Structure 1
Amino acid sequence: MVHTCVVAGCRNRRTPGTTLSFYRFPRDPERKQRWIAAVNREGWVPNDGSRLCSTHFISGKQVKNPRSPDYVPSVFTIAPLSPEMKEPGAFEILDKQEARVEAANALLFLQGQGTPVVAEQSQEEHPEEPQAIVDESTSSSISSDEEEEDDDKSVSDSKKGKYAQSPDAPVNYDDMLKALKKENQSLRESVEKMSLSENSLRNDAEKVKFYTGLPNYFVLETVMWLLAPHMDGMKNVKLSKFQQLLLTLMRLRLDLRNQDLAYRFGVKVGTVIRTVHRMVNIMSSTLVPTAVFWPSRAELRKNLPAALRTSYPDCAVIIDCFTVPFEELVSRGNQQQQQQEVATSYNALKYLIGVAPQGVVTFVSRGVLGNVSDKSLAEGCGFLCKLLPGDVVLANRDLDIGESVAARQAQFKIARGSLLDEAPSEALSVQKHVERVISMVKQRYAMLAGPVESPFTAFCERTSNLSTFDKIVQVACALNNLCISAAPLE
């Protein structure tokens, strides 16, 4: 039998494929009376065929616990009719109409023809199998527990969908199980490919390069191995150590916003900010000293490129300055505070970078306000202390540090001015060398292109004269050194 909900104004009907559940009225007199009162149909008494659909319960189903709010139906979105609108015998007429519709539906389905008759509304046609309806009527007639949910929909649903079978064919559950396992495995593989996990990056060098800037998973794993012992004190139950490193590298590599990373990793924005700052501090103290260092003179001469071996065999470093704009003016100490008025017209951080002739970064200064002269920057960042007597410092433009370099008994040479007439090819090589390295670092880690967000320009540690962004620049240079250099060793 096709049941209809007895609530006034509710037209929910149990038809094949429906997800609704229909409940008998309880036999317990007290509870049954409370259900009748909740239905609120004056003078109406339920019979054995009366049903109440699951939409009138808060959780979508009845609960037998008297303390539960769903012990009695309480969801009635349709307001009851006012006494003025009620007509004598209106509900009796409605019951008769519903009984006729149910009888017609039962007859049509038992004969295996037609579709359910729907009163007062048109429904989309869904042809069903006669066997399913026979099973439904049989299961509903056998059930004797007044509070047991009608389970006929499970019978009909098993005969529909992707694994539907004809009424007379036996169901092969082994084949269905194999198909479901295969589908489950396919879905797992799809989810794994879309996720940002170790397994999804392990055999995909292009994915590693896109998200981290590193050439392959082996290099990424090496960085993780180096940093892992220093991450033990980081309390973060949401993200694993690998995810914390990956999140930070994605922040540097793609310059993604904090909210974007929070959505990707399923954490809060505050967690993203704390993770980035902590990982940058760890990489600054662990990775930078390992990857960015000043090589010995013997190593420099041993691996000097042929383009410079004849002209400048004592070349120790090729230097240049670059700037990164920031969002707002920041205070960088007493010396910069005195120049604050001049700096307001040039909101940028200035860095001195030194590159070995082989193409790896060997020195990077802390950032100062962009209006500071090259000489002041070189003398204040510790670069001159790296030079040895007889070293040659090359640059492709005049940085006004010749006297400072000479004070260390070293030589400062401007490659573009001294080599154009003698060896244009060598001059071009030196001229583009540092620019190419700086360009590689900025392209590999988009965060260095700026503008820098103000939280990164503040000093995070009182004992350090480096801001978080200063550390980010150094970390980016260290990571760049782990990749292929601008001038590979010969």
Structure 2
Amino acid sequence: MVHTCVVAGCRNRRTPGTTLSFYRFPRDPARKQRWIAAVNREGWVPNEGSRLCSTHFISGKQVKNPRSPDYVPSVFTSAPMSPNIKGASVCELYDKQEAQVEAANALLFLQGQGRLLEDHGQIQSQEEQESVFSSLSSCDEEEDDNDDEEDNKEEENSLTGISPGGVKPVKNISTKSPDYETSLEALKKENVELRESLEKISLTEASFRNNPEKVRFYTGLPNYFVFETVMLLLVPHIKGDKNAKLSKFQQLLLTLMRLRLDLKNQDLAYRFGVKVAMVTRTVHRIISIMFVTLVPTTVFWPSRVELRKNLPASLRSTYPDCAVIIDCFKVSLEKAVGVDVNQQVASTIPTQSTQSAMVDELKYVIGVAPQGVVTFVSRGTPGHVSDKNLVESCGLLCKLLPGDIVLAEYDFDIGDLVGACKAELKITSRNYIESGQDGEDSLLFSTFSDKVDVHRHVGRVIEMVKRRYSMLTGLVESPFTVIDSTTNVSTFDKIVQVACALNNLCISATPLE
């Protein structure tokens, strides 16, 4: 009986001597429907005489295993197929059959069915070769008569795990060789190690959470709890959106790294993978937010009750009314800038010229509570302004109450200013005692100097702030000296106050008893 393939454009026919196989459509309704869909002939329904040739299967024959790619025909070409391949040589047919088998095995492997071991692969290759040569000499007319028998045999073989070619299906053969298992375990181990090493060097929130040393190094804060507290306070005010290149955490971390390590903007741009302009904008914006939000909550003048309650024992017997210890420190500018001196000191220097002067350093007055907490920071003024004029103009005197004692070094000539507030100035340096003072005051100062060096105490606090935030020790860059029009405060003045605020969140210079 002569059969013609029902696929549109396929002219293959069963003729004497052809090596093609022709298959009737399956009896299983679901599989039959899939075959009809694969043939893709609109409105066409197969009958008992409809046949599909073997060229439409990857391996050259249908397979009853539902997991096989040849369970449903899948090879269709737009060009008409040759009606007769009788003239093809035996070698060409064998090469084509072998390539199809290899393609089928590759697809099975990709579908998770595993792969053949080398010895089984050799056996299969030999058996496939024998089947090809035997098929060349067999008559395909008998195939149609024995279709039902083959179907039953294939179903039986599928239950027993044997394929029509006599080789067990790929799924029943071990899918992983010992070498494969070893390589897989090694790759998994290497993957874990790489992830751990990447986590250690990354600047992510998770990498800081359980690493207090990393927190201290990059932020100056003692631990992640303090860092998280600062972050929770600032996050509602930090701008962030889904398309932002820096998260809110990264914006805060970048700013703290700028203060802590005095890293250049280009360095931070490389570390966070952004442009230098974005680093500059981020630092200025976060500093402004911290100045408005963080500084008022951490740098403030305590009440007299709180001062006396937490007064160190070394001062309790000598200066129980000590309100503040004051000192000055200077920072150098990277480039001299023009500053109107009268504006800087609030017109308290009548002898100074009203013209702008070139300033190459800034001076700050800092007030420290006896416990070691910074309670006052002035704005920066030109370095040549005297301490007396600086104290008079910075607003420190307005915070004093009658009876308060202000401790300072010998070179602070502000006794009359403090006395005008009905407070008292005490000079604590030993040099002052050696300058010829005598009487009761001299004895008092000497006794106090033996118990505590207050001038060293405040110096220690200033050094601690500078050590924690290296930006205060380097040259101040020109963009940070520009005064913000909204707050009338320069960015570096904000930085000094923010550094003192962050320092107050750390352990005090003088431990409380």
Alignment of 1:347-426 (within 5 A): 347-416=360-429, 417=432, 418=442, 419-426=444-451
Q: Does 1:476 align with 2:483?
A: no
Aligned residue in 2 for 1:270: 277
Q: How many residues align?
A: 335
The 1:313/1:183 distance shift into structure 2, 3 A limit, reads same
Task: Measure, in 2, the Cα distance between the counterparts of 1:414 and 1:288.
Answer: 29
Task: Judge conservation of contact 1:330–1:458 (CA < 8 Å) in 2.
Answer: no
Q: Does 1:292 align with 2:305?
A: no
Partner secondary structure for residue 329 of structure 1: strand
The 1:340/1:182 distance shift into structure 2, 3 A limit, reads farther
Aligned residue in 1 for 2:202: 195
Partner secondary structure for residue 327 of structure 1: strand
Q: Does 1:244 align with 2:251?
A: yes
Task: Measure, in 1, the Cα distance between the counterparts of 2:202 and 2:300.
Answer: 36
Task: Measure, in 2, the Cα distance between the counterparts of 1:207 and 1:475.
Answer: 21
Task: Measure, in 2, the Cα distance between the counterparts of 1:364 and 1:455.
Answer: 21
Aligned residue in 2 for 1:446: 470
The code of the aligned residue for 1:255 comes to: D
Aligned residue in 2 for 1:464: 487
Task: Measure, in 2, the Cα distance between the counterparts of 1:353 and 1:431.
Answer: 12
Task: Judge conservation of contact 1:343–1:370 (CA < 8 Å) in 2.
Answer: no
Identical positions, percent: 65
Aligned residue in 2 for 1:155: none
Task: Measure, in 2, the Cα distance between the counterparts of 1:268 and 1:459.
Answer: 24
The code of the aligned residue for 2:397 comes to: L
Task: Measure, in 2, the Cα distance between the counterparts of 1:436 and 1:399.
Answer: 18
Partner secondary structure for residue 181 of structure 1: helix
The code of the aligned residue for 1:435 comes to: G
How big is the shift at 1:472?
A: 0.3
Residues 353-377 of structure 1: per-residue CA shift (max 9 Å, x gap): 0000000000000101101111221
Task: Measure, in 2, the Cα distance between the counterparts of 1:193 and 1:174.
Answer: 29
The 1:171/1:421 distance shift into structure 2, 3 A limit, reads same
Instruction: List gaps (5 residues or longer) in structure 2.
Output: 1-94, 107-116, 121-173, 345-351, 433-441
The 1:406/1:282 distance shift into structure 2, 3 A limit, reads same
Task: Measure, in 2, the Cα distance between the counterparts of 1:255 and 1:364.
Answer: 21
Aligned pair partner of 1:280 in 273, 283, 287: 287
Mark the structure with the bigger radius of gyration.
2
The 1:349/1:339 distance shift into structure 2, 3 A limit, reads farther
TM-score of the pair, normalised by structure 2? 0.60
Task: Judge conservation of contact 2:339–2:356 (CA < 8 Å) in 1.
Answer: no
Partner secondary structure for residue 450 of structure 1: coil
Task: Judge conservation of contact 1:342–1:371 (CA < 8 Å) in 2.
Answer: no
Q: Name whichever of 248-257 and 300-309 sits farther off.
A: 300-309
How big is the shift at 1:341?
A: 8.1
How big is the shift at 1:206?
A: 0.8
Task: Judge conservation of contact 2:287–2:491 (CA < 8 Å) in 1.
Answer: yes
Q: Does 1:312 align with 2:269?
A: no
Partner secondary structure for residue 334 of structure 2: coil
Aligned pair partner of 2:479 in 455, 458, 474: 455
Task: Measure, in 1, the Cα distance between the counterparts of 2:272 and 2:248.
Answer: 13
How big is the shift at 1:396?
A: 2.2
Task: Measure, in 2, the Cα distance between the counterparts of 1:483 and 1:189.
Answer: 30
How big is the shift at 1:140?
A: 12
Task: Measure, in 2, the Cα distance between the counterparts of 1:375 and 1:298.
Answer: 28
How big is the shift at 1:342?
A: 9.6
Partner secondary structure for residue 330 of structure 1: strand
The 1:250/1:240 distance shift into structure 2, 3 A limit, reads same
How big is the shift at 1:187?
A: 1.6
Instruction: List gaps (5 residues or longer) in structure 1.
Output: 1-137, 152-164
TM-score of the pair, normalised by structure 1? 0.63
Q: Name whichever of 252-261 and 390-399 sits farther off.
A: 390-399
